[in-house]
A = this chain, B = another copy of it.
Amino acid sequence: MGDIAILTEADLRRAVTLGAPVLKAVEDAFRLLASGKVVMPPILSMEIAEAHGEVDVKTAYLPGFEHFAIKVSPGFFDNPKLGLPSLNGLMILFSAKTGLVAALLLDNGYLTDIRTAAAGAIAAKYLAPKKVETAAVLGTGAQARLQIIAAHQVRPFKKVIVWGRDPVRAQACAEDIATALKIEADVVKDAAAAVAEAQLVVTTTSARKPILRAEWLHKGLHITAMGADQAGKNEIDPRAVALADLYVCDRVSQAAALGELRAARAAGLMNGETPPELGAIVARTNPGRPSETAITLCDLTGTGAQDTAIASYAFAAARKLGIGTKITA
């Protein structure tokens, strides 16, 4: 049935880095998503309670793309006890003409990390104030680093403030960011202080109760909330979601089921409106940030459209570099 390309995580780390071409690929996917021509079914989700695990499957067909991706993301939260990462997974690229398997991208979640950070950068590009002197990140994991590194490409801020529940992890995160971006990166004990000083805040935690309070909102602030991607998760005070001058999400159906919008609506807020999606702002059918002093919030749950975009990009990049192995199946 033809050759299938196999790309390992090492192959994909060589072929795909978090730079302008990746940001453009993800930006283009958001623009397409706003066209109404993308086919993106609801996420398939299965819980394996006995193993403290779950698995999500995402996909989307982007018109004009040679392939579509199916991404399988297992999250098994006892893995760290076994010395294994919680998040893993792979992407499979299929021909959008014949359905034949074109490539297996054994990325162990690497491409998800990259496309998630790229989406944060696109949110910042279109929604953050033009001038960002200081960025803050609430969270200290891999996405805390990647979100800041990606956002810096669209808003070259001079300083980063890191907040996390664990000060040791916060310090390590700040040091990694300082090394990567060659800018000042400080740790604060109080998330309020981080938000107060920043024009751009990214939240990257798995919080199930808000970590960013409505009282902390200030003029000229943009927040990207990327942590909540499940019905139980909630990083942003529902009142903050309602108070923002502009609330934007990646996909309304997903945000309402899995994101900050879900928590806000559960609190009786945001029920009367269908908010705009990031793609509409990228496509300029929605004006986006109303003014430099407005408060904006972008709620990212992660879309199959981003997965098809990054998998297609990775496959093309690997082919160009002659990376990967082939199997005849």
Contacts from A to B (Cβ < 8 Å): 1, 4, 6, 8-9, 39-48, 50-51, 53, 55, 57, 59-61, 63, 68, 70, 72, 74-76, 79, 82, 84-85, 88-90, 92, 94, 96-101, 104, 106, 108, 325, 327-329
Least Cβ–Cβ distance between A131 and chain B, in angstroms = 42
**CB-based contact A46/B72 at 8 Å:** no
Q: Say whether, besides A42-B44, A55-B70, A59-B44, A106 and B98 are in contact (CB < 8 Å).
A: no
Q: Say whether, besides A46-B39, A70-B72, A108 and B63 are in contact (CB < 8 Å).
A: no
**CB-based contact B46/A44 at 8 Å:** no
8 A-B residue contacts at CB 8 Å? A8-B327, A39-B47, A40-B46, A41-B44, A53-B96, A74-B98, A92-B92, A101-B106
Copies in the complex: 2
**Closest B residue, CB atoms, query A85:** B1
**CB-based contact B55/A57 at 8 Å:** no
Least Cβ–Cβ distance between A58 and chain B, in angstroms = 9
**Pick the contact of A1 from B42, B88, B328 — CB < 8 Å?**
B88
Chain B residues whose CB sits within 8 angstroms of the CB of A82 once the complex forms: 98
**Which residue of A9, A55, A85 has the most chain B CB atoms within 10 A of its CB atom?**
A55
Least Cβ–Cβ distance between A86 and chain B, in angstroms = 8
**Pick the contact of A79 from B85, B90, B99 — CB < 8 Å?**
B99
Chain B residues whose CB sits within 8 angstroms of the CB of A1 once the complex forms: 9, 84-85, 88, 108
**Pick the contact of A51 from B46, B96, B101 — CB < 8 Å?**
B96
Q: Say whether, besides A98-B79, A328-B8, A63 and B84 are in contact (CB < 8 Å).
A: no
Least Cβ–Cβ distance between A33 and chain B, in angstroms = 15
What are the nearest 7 A-B pairs in CB distance? Answer: A74-B99, A106-B329, A44-B44, A76-B99, A8-B329, A41-B46, A48-B61
Give Cα distance in the complex from A167 to B214, angstroms: 73
**CB-based contact B94/A92 at 8 Å:** no
Least Cβ–Cβ distance between A283 and chain B, in angstroms = 21
Q: Say whether, besides A9-B329, A329-B9, A99 and B68 are in contact (CB < 8 Å).
A: no
Least Cβ–Cβ distance between A9 and chain B, in angstroms = 6
